[in-house]
């Protein structure tokens, strides 16, 4: 592949409570993310075991691909708004995408 077709972006991954999926999706749209991908998850962290057994007790794992500026903006916004009261982990890493206009 011609490297000129490859573009650096960030991927922000948020693991949090399924209960706030709707709210969080709206937040991401408001922050102008071009899209997001959600998978159902379970796990353990400082707030104990979370699994999908009981209604909203499961986790979700949201990924957003975007540029560095937006990645920082998303991470900070979500951190400010949700960290204190919800089980949540946020991390970021580098990815290469093929169509820069999409993200």
CA pair distance 40, 27, nearest whole angstrom: 19
CB closer to other proteins, 19 vs 90: 19
39: contact with other proteins by CB under 8 A: no
Smallest distance from the beta carbon of 2 to a second copy, in angstroms? 9
Among the listed residues 42, 63, 86, 97, the single contact to other proteins using CB under 8 A: 86
95: left (phi over 0), alpha (psi -120 to 50) or beta: beta
Smallest distance from the beta carbon of 5 to ligand AMP, in angstroms? 17
101: contact with other proteins by CB under 8 A: no
Binds 96: which of ligand AMP, a second copy, other proteins, none (CB < 5-8 Å by kind):
a second copy
- Residues 11, 16, 22, 23, CA torsion sign: negative
94: contact with a second copy by CB under 8 A: yes
Contacts of 38 (CB under 8 A, 6+ apart): 21, 25, 60, 61, 62, 63
């Amino acid at each position: 592949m011609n490297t000129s077709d490859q573009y650096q972006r960030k991927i922000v991954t948020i693991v949090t409570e399924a209960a706030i999926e709707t709210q969080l999706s709206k937040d991401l749209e408001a922050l102008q993310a071009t899209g997001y991908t959600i998978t159902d998850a379970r796990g353990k962290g400082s707030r104990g075991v979370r699994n999908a057994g009981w209604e909203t007790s499961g986790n979700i794992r949201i990924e957003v691909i975007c540029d560095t500026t937006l990645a920082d903006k998303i991470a900070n916004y979500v951190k400010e708004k949700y960290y204190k009261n919800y089980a949540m982990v946020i991390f970021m890493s580098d990815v290469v995408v093929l169509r820069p206009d999409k993200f």
